[in-house]
Amino acid sequence: QVQLVESGGGLVQPGESPRLSCATSASIFSFNAMGWYRQAPGKERELVATISSGGGTNVRNSVKGRFTISRDIAKRTVYLQMNDLEPEDTAVYYCNGRIGSAITGNNYWGQGTQVTVSS
């Protein structure tokens, strides 16, 4: 049973730079890709950033330059560094890991961590 556990969310002020962590019970190389999604109140879940098994990364255009995804293979952890947060970044952030292809693979999700950006 693959488990993903997020941490690092909470209440932050605009301009702060918290880091989210996603610890996985399986080797990171078990996943074809891992990523972060977020869901704001009343909105659909959206992809924020991904990192492939080879280490290639992609970041959503709207947060490019502020958010960075990275990983520590030995710690089995994927990170989302979020810089200069804005109130519009308020959302529940979910860690995702996919085993298999994007079409037929299995997706695994963490429980989500709330990030609230407010002064």
Res. 60 pLDDT band, cuts 50 70 90:
very high
- Whether residue 106 has pLDDT greater than 90: yes
Q: What angle do CA 3, 96, 33 make, to 5 degrees?
A: 105
Closest by CA position to 70, among listed 91, 92, 55: 55
What is d(CA 42, CA 21) in angstroms, rounded to the nearest whole number? 25
Q: Which tens digits make up the pLDDT trace of 1-48?
A: 899 999 998 999 999 999 999 999 999 999 999 999 999 999 999 999
Rounded to the nearest angstrom, the gap between the alpha carbon of residue 88 and the centroid of all alpha carbons in its chain is 16
- Whether residue 102 has pLDDT greater than 90: no
